[in-house]
């Protein structure tokens, strides 16, 4: 049985986990707050689901879905993702810098394009 690693357990990641399990896959899912915060979701998903750290989900998955917004700080587990197919479901989105926020570093309000290799993977 194919195992999918999912990094991100929000609306997108959790719905992808449900769809994957319904299609016969097992999943290992992670969020930024740690696997202990995913107990309810994993119980809901059933025996085909397991919670882990981002590195654990990346290592366990035969391929990995990244379902988190692009951040200015790269905290993806690059070593565990190396050599794997990584599907970034946030692709095509941009990082919007708002005036007066900590993320506004360009001096004006504008969209920053999302790079195709946002996580430094080849």
Residue 47 lies in a domain: yes
Number of domains into which the chain is organized: 1
At residue 91, the pLDDT reads: 59
Task: Tell me if the pTM is above 0.85.
Answer: no
At residue 90, the pLDDT reads: 75
Residue 102 has pLDDT above 60, yes or no: no
pLDDT tens for residues 15-42? 999 999 999 999 999 999 999 999 999 9
Residue 44 lies in a domain: yes
Q: Is 24 helix (H, G, I), strand (E, B) or coil?
A: coil
Residue 67 lies in a domain: yes
Using 50, 70 and 90 to split pLDDT, how confident is the model at 86?
very high
Give the tokens for residue 55.
């590195």
What is the domain-level CATH number for residue 88?
Answer: 3.40.50.720
What are phi and psi for residue 110, nearest 5 degrees? -160, 165
23 forms bridges with which residues in the sheet? none
Residue 119 lies in a domain: no
Residue 39: give the domain boundaries: 3-112
Residue 40 lies in a domain: yes
Of the chain, the percentage scoring pLDDT greater than 90 comes to 63
What are phi and psi for residue 96, nearest 5 degrees? -95, 120
Strands of 46-120 (E only): list them. Answer: 49-51, 63-66, 85-88, 95-97, 110-112
Residue 122 lies in a domain: no
Residue 25 lies in a domain: yes
């Amino acid at each position: 049985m194919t195992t999918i690693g999912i990094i991100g357990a929000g609306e997108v990641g959790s719905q992808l986990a449900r769809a994957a399990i319904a299609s016969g896959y097992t999943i290992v899912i992670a969020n930024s707050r740690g696997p202990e915060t995913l107990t309810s979701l994993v119980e809901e998903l059933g025996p085909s689901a397991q919670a882990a750290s981002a590195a654990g989900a990346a290592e366990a998955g035969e391929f990995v879905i990244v379902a988190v917004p692009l951040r200015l700080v790269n905290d993806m587990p690059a070593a565990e993702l190396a050599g794997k197919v990584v599907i970034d479901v946030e692709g095509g989105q941009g990082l919007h810098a708002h005036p007066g926020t900590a993320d506004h570093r360009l001096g004006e309000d504008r969209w920053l394009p999302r790079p195709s290799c946002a996580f430094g993977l080849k």
